[in-house]
Amino acid sequence: MFMEVQTKVITVDGIGSSLSDETSEQGSTCPRCANDAPVRLEKADPMANTCFRCRTCGHIFSPRDD
């Protein structure tokens, strides 16, 4: 009855790398705590939405497409 979900955190080596730039360009701000540097989660299904995990509060979210 329960669906098994697997996630991997993609880390980026170095400070000031493209991850923080890429997330800020997309407006990926945590809706719970307003942290502006979430971690992008690896997609298990290529057709799935892009999801992020907040480094501060742990909230997992997918930004809206405007």
- pLDDT of 19: 42
pTM of the predicted protein model: 0.55
- pLDDT of 57: 93
Domain definitions of the chain by residue range: 22-66
Both tokens of residue 50? 């892009």
Q: Which residues of the chain have pLDDT under 70?
A: 1-3, 5, 7-27, 65-66
- pLDDT of 54: 93
Nearest to 17 by CA among 31, 3, 37: 37
- pLDDT of 22: 45
**Phi/psi at 29 (nearest 5 deg)?**
-110, 135
Nearest to 45 by CA among 62, 64, 27, 22: 62
